[in-house]
Amino acid sequence: MARALWKGAISFGLIHIPVELFPAEQRDELDLTLLDRRDFAPVGYRRVNKHSGEEVPRDDIVKGYQYEEDQYVVLGDDELKSANVKATQTVDLIAFVDADEIEPLYFDQPYYLAPTRGGAKVYALLRETLRRAGKVGIGQVVIRTRQHLAALMPVGDVLLLDTLRYAHELRDSAQLPLPEGDLEAAGVAEREVKMALSLVESMSEARQPAQYRDRYRDDVLALIERKVRSKQVHAIAAPVEDNEAAPAGDNVVDLMALLKRSLDSAKPAKSAARKAPAKTSTARARKRA
């Protein structure tokens, strides 16, 4: 587990639960190094003084707020905390809402909260209370130098804190070229809706997060392995042409035919998927044994 980002408390009413905040997300991005294509030497990121052009040691870097052009107020980490100690040390819950009231586009970044010494009992109490009530705690928390709106919810045995976007941070979708809300005006027939519903039903299954993989990342790693084996370590392949023609803007799509073909292909796939979990469960059971 990563190091705690901060130690503080969940606070609401007279309740005070000492906790630690941990990142819940683990980025699994490919670590590609920038290179100079002339000699394939690494091109690094440098902390450079914009006036002198010289590299600045990490210990000499401080934070500053520009209040006028080229004029700064320097702020240390302790000073940033002391500006509002309560805000920087607490998840201050201000309301409880139904879980389904929070629209997906508001969720931003997940974190785990774990109890510290003396907080286990009240932590468990809050977790069970939220679970039975079907509620999510809405609060505010300062992470680094920004105050976030956040949702606190039970997920298994952990209290998950998910930062939320503020309403003003979301762009208005009204300016997008969207089809009419009325199906008839959008040119959608009722029989097409029914066929689409049948397709969705045929592809519906219980969600199993572990079954999904980043196939693009796997394919890139496989490409890297092939190039290493064939000693093409400095070769850049020519771009691959996409032979699939882009659909013309004025083409009429036979939606019913596409839906029927999709529905026919989804049925055997779902049938095979239904049999797969039993094998997977057996394999897991053997592994545990």
Check whether residue 19 and residue 142 sit in a common domain: yes
Check whether residue 156 and residue 196 sit in a common domain: no
**Residue 125: which domain range?**
6-27+81-168
142 in a domain, yes or no?
yes
Check whether residue 137 and residue 190 sit in a common domain: no
pLDDT digits (tens, 9 = 90+) for 213-271: 778 777 878 887 887 888 777 766 666 665 554 444 444 557 777 777 777 777 666 66
- Cβ atoms of 81 and 88 within 8 Å: the answer is yes
- Cβ atoms of 146 and 112 within 8 Å: the answer is no
Check whether residue 23 and residue 93 sit in a common domain: yes
CATH number, domain at 141? 2.40.290.10
Whether this prediction's pTM lies above 0.95 is answered by no
pLDDT digits (tens, 9 = 90+) for 44-71: 667 777 777 788 888 888 888 887 777 7
* Start-to-end CA span in the chain (Å): 26
Residue 101 CB coordination number (10 Å): 9
Q: Write out the two tokens for 60.
A: 């000499």
Most confident of 77-81, 89-93, 162-166, 195-199: 162-166
Q: Please, which residues bridge with residue 11 across strands?
A: 16, 92
Number of domains making up the chain: 2
Check whether residue 94 and residue 164 sit in a common domain: yes
Q: Write out the two tokens for 47.
A: 């902390």
